[in-house]
Amino acid sequence: MGLLSPLFAGQAQGLGHYQYLKAEQQLRKGQLGQYHKTVSKLDKHPLLPYLQANKLRRLFYKTPISELDRFFSQNKDQPVAKLLRRRWVWYLAATQNWRLFLDYIGPTENLSLRCHRVTALESTNHRFDALLEGQALWLMGVSLPKTCDKVFANWKRNGYLSEDLIWQRLLIAQDKRQYKLVRFLQKKLSGTLKKHARLVRSLWRRPFNILNDKRLLTLDGRARTLLITKALKYQPDRLYELAALNLLPGLNEKQLHKIEITALNYAAKHSGPQSYQWYQLAHQNNVLDFELEESFLLGAVKSQNWPLYSHLYKIARQEIKDIARWQYWQARALESLGSVNSESEHFYSLASIERDFYGFLASQKLGISATMNHDPTHVSASILQRIRMHKPVKRAMAFLDIGRISDARREWQYAFNHLDNDGRQALAIIAGRLDWSDRPIMTLAQQESWHDLQLRFPLAHETLFDQAARKTRLSKNWIYGVARQESAFMYDARSPVGATGLMQLMPNTAKSVSRQQRIKYSQKRLLDPEYNIRLGSSYLKQLLKRYKGNRVLATAAYNAGPGSVNRWLKKFSGPLDIWIERIPYEETREYVQKVLTYSTIYSYRLGQLQPIFDRDTLSAWSNISPTILEISKADGRRKNKG
């Protein structure tokens, strides 16, 4: 009997899910009598509150407030209550029931709802609060939803929308590169401010000319600060000229501080002959915080100013000295300065302890295996059983069974937020046993638990990755590293710009690759792991071929596009580790470092530990001048020909 009970339990669970889906359908069709009969058989189903919420939502127009409040009270801050409350708030906005709207809305980041709240405050005679909320929205300096049009139309009618407020918003939008909004706001100005808006836009496009243009003196402090900081991002050394150019009178302390910090940050990142003087200035003015100190170190690395780097490292705060990144570069600095091997090896050894990009680089320099320090997650069987029976976990697993992945993740996150450390560790283990690959990654990351490499780097869809590696003749660990960084194995991942699926393919890229591979293209199928991995690995193969086997360049191009990589190659083709540090897009730089790190970890997981820079990559890099740079020139010629 004991052996058969799980089978019967599974059948009962399947029947319960069937009844749940049937009740949903009956509710959609308005068959309330049949719905109630079906629901009567589901009294213990974990998703019953969702059916109750669906019914309430469909009958908002005639449901007593007391019934809604009872549901909210019974389900408190659970996802089902939050979802229903959000629908209820939208319903109240649509029906312009502003008093109830204010009772139920609560804190929100949704811009449309925030604009509705301004309208609600106005309509209920809370005009001062409405003005404050509206002004906060106005000065965000971004385009707002249509819902907000009514708010600012009322402002205009009531005389709140002054030219100064329009001018403030225009400057904020200019700083945020919201150029379409800037053009729109410029049309709303008149007289002197309209001329000033045109001047700001004109100077912004020519940053090297800003400080030499005498018209800058005609602008108020806000506009001058905006343009001076823009100019100093390109010419930080000109900070000392500002007083002589008479550009500082009228600026307040906050504006002067912003100008100084901007110059210091950009001087630090672009190390030059005066770098140490800039460092001393920052130190003397008590603005040398952790981030700025790291910027000075990075600037010295990028310019290969090893004497400066070594000196800055020696006088850096201890927290910085203890970071593998800066230990690695201190070793490189000592190496380049001709110090005895034992000195550089000391810092390589310190860095090699870490399981990260710089630790793996240091290990390769020392000729030793990369440090992994795998430490499996352990919790007792009783804790695992308790967490399995936890109501949010049961709801998440039920949603998983019926293919509602977003709802399942929402319940899983709710469970995580309300569990102790052991419970959270158990969550990661349970998700791993369910082959729900993205949840252990996210769960352990939120817990800052980094050492279980089996859960954090799962061999998800291994058969599909095997097939892709064989077909493309790429390293399986590299394809895994890309997928792990791109989506953390969320097969339904979609980026704000449209990248889709496990390997985050842009539709146009996927279409092009499918055409070259003679695979029928389907945008819907990008959510299919097999199709996505096949196209993603094929694209990686194309990029690797383009860059003569250099995995670093192919990885960078996968993220930023070949055009960007080719531009960077024209500017610098020195040592590979420095080339990575010099990638101007922070997102791409971190992306390359993470993919290489994850690929190394996956080589360990697959039983064939490899160094972070493979032989083909190093070989291709050593031949970069006659090969890859020619590709860049050819690409430029093709682009010029249109």
Residues identified as active-site: 486
* Residue from 464, 459, 460, 473 nearest 605 by CA: 459
Nearest to 504 by CA among 514, 513, 495, 515: 495
Which phi and psi (to 5°) does residue 500 adopt?
-135, 140
What's the CA gap between 9 and 55, in Å, rounded? 28
Is the CB of residue 488 less than 8 Å from the CB of residue 438? yes
Beta bridge partners of 494: 500
Q: For residue 414, give the 3-state DSSP assignment.
A: helix
Reference 592, options 309, 361, 369; nearest CA is 361
Residues 6 or more apart whose CB falls under 8 angstroms from that of 334 comprise 310, 343, 344, 347
DSSP for 485-545, written as a single string:
HHHTT-TT-B-TT--BTTTTB-HHHHHHHHHHTT----SGGGGSHHHHHHHHHHHHHHHHH
Whether 412 contacts 396, CB under 8 Å: yes
From the list 490, 513, 515, 519, the residue with the least C-alpha distance to 503 is 490
Give the three-class secondary structure for 38.
Answer: helix
DSSP letter string, 241-280: GTTTTT--TT--HHHHHHHHHHHHHHHHHS--TTHHHHHH
